[in-house]
Amino acid sequence: MFDPEKARAASQLLVRHWDKGTRLDAIPEELRPQTRIEGYAIQSHVIDRSAAPLFGWKIAATSLAGQRHINVDGPMAGRLLAEKAVEVGGAVSLATSRMRVAEIEFAFRFGRQLPPRSAPYEIAEVMDAVATVHPTIEIPDSRYEDFCAVGASQLIADNACANLFVIGEAVEDDWRDADLAQHPVVAFVSGKSEHHGTGAAVLGDPRIALAWIVNELSGLGIALQPGQVVSR
């Protein structure tokens, strides 16, 4: 087991850089996680900074292109903090952002708990626990100078590049029978450019990604709670 005091110290170091908008090359060797599990042990302390309950979760690196870009071999889970939520129509500065990117996503708000268990959750039972779906914009960022060089364990420790996010109103149309994989997504930037995508960019289907994070958290002994949101 990763030393809890080292995990807390590593998290506090990353959070200080997060708050100041500064960067570090890597977690000091004596505090550095060597595995994904150790990375999650560090990440778990990020909630220590927050007075509010955990808002929810994000999934990073859900496409092969994204995984290759940051040199990881699979998705990563991160925590969404309530104080990092931006109101719809709000404005944010990217002056200190290292990544300088906005991602258009689906967010799923859970209506009931999905507790940890030994058997994997199937997509159908995960979707059955979802209460509402929301359009979302995530504005990720990294506390590392070169986030492509530090590896998965340190990126997980750094809360899987979680930062700011906007959660829109719940979709009113019947979304349960919608083909989310083929659902078109269009982003307009200052009325000057258009960017197009589909839900298939997320592990082939956002529902697959949602089941992935439920099972990732289950393996860590973490339950998704009613009211929590998962964005991807």
pLDDT 10s digits, 24-53: 999 999 999 999 999 999 999 999 989 999
pLDDT 10s digits, 98-135: 899 999 999 999 999 999 999 999 999 999 999 999 99
Handedness of CA 19, 23, 28, 29 (dihedral sign): positive
Q: Is pLDDT above 90 for 223?
A: yes
Handedness of CA 108, 111, 113, 117 (dihedral sign): negative
Q: Is pLDDT above 80 for 226?
A: yes
Residues found in the chain: 232
Q: What is the pLDDT of residue 94?
A: 86
Distance (Å, whole) CA 69 – CA 61: 9
Closest CA relative to residue 231, chosen from 138, 117, 121: 138
- Packed helices 36-43 and 4-20: angle between N→C axes, nearest 10 degrees: 60
Amino acid sitting at position 224: L
Residue 63 binned pLDDT confidence (cut-offs 50, 70, 90): confident
* Residues 76 and 43 sit within 8 Å (Cβ to Cβ): no
What's the half-sphere exposure (Cβ side, CA atoms, 13 Å) at 83?
A: 9
**φ and ψ at residue 24, rounded to 5 degrees:** -130, 155
DSSP one-letter code for 85 = B
Percent of the chain with pLDDT over 90: 81
* Residues 224 and 210 sit within 8 Å (Cβ to Cβ): no
* Residues 23 and 195 sit within 8 Å (Cβ to Cβ): no
CATH architecture of 4-231: Alpha-Beta Complex (3.90)
* Residues 111 and 129 sit within 8 Å (Cβ to Cβ): yes
State pTM to two decimals. Answer: 0.95
Residue 65 binned pLDDT confidence (cut-offs 50, 70, 90): confident
Q: How many CB atoms lie within 10 A of CB 158?
A: 29
Q: How many CB atoms lie within 10 A of CB 184?
A: 8
Distance (Å, whole) CA 53 – CA 102: 25
pLDDT 10s digits, 146-190: 999 999 999 999 999 999 999 999 999 889 989 999 999 888 888
